[in-house]
A and B are shown apart, each in its own frame.
Chain A
Amino acid sequence: MGNKKILIVDDDPDVRNGMHVRLKANHYDTFFAGDALSSMTEARKHEPDLIILDLGLPAGDGFVVMERLKAIPALAVIPIIVVSARDVLANKERALKAGAKAYLQKPVDNAELLKAIRRALGEPALATKAVVHDLGSL
């Protein structure tokens, strides 16, 4: 069985790259988009198993992307995890209502991100592994 494909949509190239390295190490294949328009093109081209979506994007924010994805039957089924720096209070409910599987706030814990990805993909959770480098809940 091949690796699962994840499309990372974020306008910050460093954040995209950082996520790519972390996901590759966990055996996912990654593709990128930095704005609303190219996220549609990339989604069509690769038909990923999951999309990690930032909200603040140039030319139409993450909500616009979600709306457009939902309008295309082949893409509407792809699970979406929103990872954003925006305020949880104002955006989480709206994102979940728009169909996102999870809302994670930046900076997002590595362990938390991987857990959300596995859950969204319907993969079994990994046996508890000591994660040393998490952000903690301070």
Chain B
Amino acid sequence: MKDKALHVLLVEDNAGDARLLREMFRTEKPGSFELTHLLRMSEALVHLGKGGVDVVLLDMGLPDAHGLDTVRQAHAMAPSVPLIVLTGLDDEALAAEAMKEGAQDYLIKGQIENRALPRALRHAIERHRMQAESNLIQTNQMQFKDEFLSHVSHELRSPLTAIYQFVTILLDKLAGELNLEQREYLEIVFRNVKQLHAMINDLLEVTRMQAGKLQIELQQTSISDAIVYAVDTLQGAATAKGITLTSEIDLRLPPACGDPTRIRQILVILLDNAIKFTPANGAVKVKARVSEEDSNLLLLEVSDTGCGISSEMTERIFERLFQTADPASAGRKGLGLGLFICKELVTRQGGRIWARSALGKGSVFFVILHVFSLPSLIAPALKRERQTEGPITLVVTEIGSQTGSLSEEVRAEQSQGVREVLQRCMHSDLDILFPKMGPGGATELFFLLAITDEIGGAAIAKRIQERMDEYEHTQKAGLTFSTSYRSVDAIKRYSNESMKDFVEKVASQIQELMNEEISSRMVKNG
């Protein structure tokens, strides 16, 4: 290791800067460094792709790549090679950003002392090695735990299946009549089977969350439907315990931006908990209304007249595996995953959850979700740009299936992957990735709004398609991915037009474009 020359790749298009750096290497002991100097990002990527580079010295202003993009590209091509960026005096903020994107260090041009360069290179390599090692250990541990939990929750399903089968065989009298006592005991077994089933599902859900595989598909979602569903699901349990379960929904409630399955899941967990901790003759109520403070937010409220929790505990209850230590709330406790799952689900939908409670005074759980509206989705981008006449481009990415149909599972799984790709390709400050906008059918559409002209739109679309072609699921699942874009130029804001009216006007134009895209696919697919 000691005697091996370090292979340094210098990517720098400025002849003067490059010469200075070369000089610095010349003063080093012969054979300690081997320098390759390239002028362009494209050349550097090819070189990195071949391997053998120990460290990269990267200028952030190249003819074919600029700024953080240089770091991203180099890092994506060779994630295991440490990177040092070269910046100008006035670019230290940018250099700090570069470190977040995976650079190990930065050097300011014109301020590099002779002896500092080799040291910086060696440090970068060493630091990178240590980091990679600790990441690997951590990843292995996480992976082991995830695999273990996933394995366990699947393995538990087979014995649970047999128990379920035979309990219901007895309960359904397929093995003969039951006396009252036998029936009562079997009902107890059956109730516990259901509880165990729910726990196994929770365990699997948490495993998925930790592995980043939780699937959430934001779309226009009716809160009242979700409430009706959750109340229906739990009415039986409430009645059995002598608890009144009611709902109160504002009839003019706008749709939320969320995942309908997940919102139902959240409400079921909250109502289930409320019923669990409320004694007979108590009441559980679920309400939904538009937030008084911000009409872009929806407020859901689940209240009970149960045992409550001390106010210091109202935050801790959302922690994983949290169990109340209160002996008064005895009985079966479950895994302590319900509220943790709830919080994760709410947060992943861009919302917030909290509780207000006092011992013996019942609890209220609040959930905030965003209202679904195109104007409120695009307003931030239009304001940020302060652009009143700029062109707007709608980039459309489509997943199709060679077999002509997409199952719900594949749809959800692929959507998540594609959304990740799109997020990496977009300019996070200026572009907006819309939640799911149209009906599915045989295709799934993703809309990305960019405040840019046709050329910018073409560049984004090209970048997306390139990444999509590399996307690992493409071949595997027999799916097709395509990307196109449409530009609307110069939407004018009149001097007498309020920002609100302007945003609404732009939104309706975008909506029209999207409708065209959606309906053209519906025609194509019959």
Interface residues of A (CB under 8 A from B): 12, 14-15, 18-19, 21-22, 25, 85-89, 92-93, 96-97, 105-108, 110, 132-133, 135-138
Q: Number of B interface residues at 8 Å Cβ cutoff, please give it.
A: 36
The docked-state distance in angstroms from the alpha carbon of A135 to that of B407 is 23
B158 in contact with A15 (CB, 8 Å): yes
B165 and A19 form a contact (CB under 8 A): yes
Interface residues of B in 240-289 (CB under 8 A from A): 268, 272
- The reply on B194 being an interface residue by CB < 8 A is yes
**Does any Cβ of A come within 8 Å of B525's Cβ?**
no
Per a CB cutoff under 8 Å, which of A85, A133, A137 touches B161? A85
Give which listed residue, B168, B194, B213, B478, contacts A97 with CB less than 8 A: B478
Is B213 in contact with A18, judged by CB distance below 8 angstroms? no
Q: Does B1 contact A (CB under 8 A)?
A: no
CB-defined A-B contacts under 8 Å, sample of 29 = A12-B158, A14-B162, A14-B165, A15-B158, A15-B162, A18-B161, A18-B162, A21-B166, A21-B169, A21-B174, A21-B175, A22-B169, A85-B157, A86-B154, A87-B150, A87-B154, A89-B213, A89-B413, A92-B410, A93-B407, A97-B478, A106-B160, A107-B157, A108-B161, A133-B167, A133-B168, A133-B171, A133-B172, A138-B268
B213 contacts across to A, CB distance below 8 A: 89
Q: Is B434 an interface residue (CB 8 A)?
A: no
* Other-chain contact of B165, A22, A85, A86, A97 (Cβ < 8 Å): A22
7 closest A-B pairs by CB: A18-B165, A85-B157, A14-B162, A107-B161, A133-B168, A106-B161, A106-B157
- B positions within 8 Å CB-CB of A: 150, 154-155, 157-162, 164-169, 171-172, 174-175, 190, 193-194, 197-198, 201, 213, 233, 268, 272, 403, 407, 409-410, 413, 477-478
Contact between A89 and B197 (Cβ–Cβ < 8 Å)? no
Q: Which residues of chain B are within 8 angstroms of A110 by Cβ–Cβ distance?
A: 165, 168, 172
- The interface residues of chain B lying within 8 Å CB-to-CB of A138 are 194, 197-198, 201, 233, 268, 272
Q: Within the assembled complex, what's the spacing in Å between the Cα atoms of A73 and B155?
A: 35
Contact A18 B233 (CB under 8 A): no
| Bound Cα distance A87, B166 (Å) | 24
Task: List chain B residues, Cβ under 8 A from A107.
Answer: 157, 160-161, 164-165, 197
- Determine the main DSSP class of B at the interface with A: helix
Instruction: Provide the bound-state CA to CA distance between A136 and B157, in Å.
Output: 15
A83 → chain B, closest Cβ, in Å?
A: 9
Q: A86–B201 Cα gap in the complex (Å)?
A: 13
A113 to B448, CA, bound (A): 41
In addition to A15-B165, A25-B174, A93-B410, 7 A-B residue pairs with Cβ atoms within 8 Å of each other are A85-B155, A85-B157, A89-B213, A92-B407, A107-B197, A133-B168, A138-B233
Instruction: Tell me the complex Cα distance, A15–B163, Å.
Output: 9
A5 CA / B213 CA spacing, docked (Å)? 40
- Nearest opposing residue in chain A for B190, CB measure: A133
CB-contact partner of A137 in B166, B233, B409, under 8 A: B233
A73 to chain B, nearest CB (A): 22
Chain B residues contacting A93 (CB-CB under 8 Å) are: 407, 409-410, 477
Which single member of B162, B190, B233 contacts A12 (CB below 8 Å)? B162
